[in-house]
Amino acid sequence: MTKLPKIKNNKLLEEALTHRSYLNEVKEKTPSNERMEFLGDSILSFVVSDYLFNKYPDFNEGKLTNLRSLLVNTKMLADLAKECDLGSLLRLSKGEEESGGRNNPSLLADTFEAFIGAIFLDQGIEAAEKFINLTVIPRAEEFIQKNLLKDPKSRLQEYVQSKRQTSPLYRVTEEEGPAHAKTFTIGVYVDEKLLGKGTGHSKQEAEESAAEDALRSIK
């Protein structure tokens, strides 16, 4: 399990770990982690982009974009949050707790980004970059070695069409959250059979996550 760096300012740590549902049940002035998630998302994207640009000078824009997407998508960040045990530290409402919020991929990914934001505000960009280099960056070489740079929807399409004369069909099965921060759950089907499910903050991201899930299930 990855050990989380210590955040000296306890208010920043509390904010990074506070889901908006928690504030509906307690009278507390601590804001939710949504603003900090916004900051952490930007820092993560910058650090990963900078690393990939310098590490792989022979990669064109398409390859760099696909690799970055693999590194910062909801599933990846949720997996990293689990490795850091961030879920156990979250401050959630009873309802969110009972509905499995501590294992919700979208919620975990958001918290991971918020934690990056908290590190930055507490200790600066170098500390945030160190944490990203420890958790996110090592996956880049793994993806390259597994030849996963082609986006998962394309890989699933090629696989399905090699087996039968049809294409995967993606359907939205659930939408959650306010209009400015929706989370989509999408299923991918072949001949009406569900092959995989995925979640994301956009339909595109959820479709890619569903395709990845399907590819794992058919290996």
What positions carry a catalytic annotation?
41, 113
The tokens for 203 are 């339909």
Q: 86 to each of 81, 110, 128, how far by Cα in Å?
A: 5, 11, 16
3-state secondary structure of 162: helix
Please count the CA atoms within 13 angstroms of the CA of 145 that sit on its side-chain side. Answer: 5
DSSP H helix total and E strand total for the chain: 10, 3
CA atoms within 13 A on the CB side of 70: 24
Q: What angle do CA 152, 154, 156 make, to 5 degrees?
A: 65
CA distance 3 to 90: 16
Q: How far apart are CA 87 and CA 71, in angstroms?
A: 20
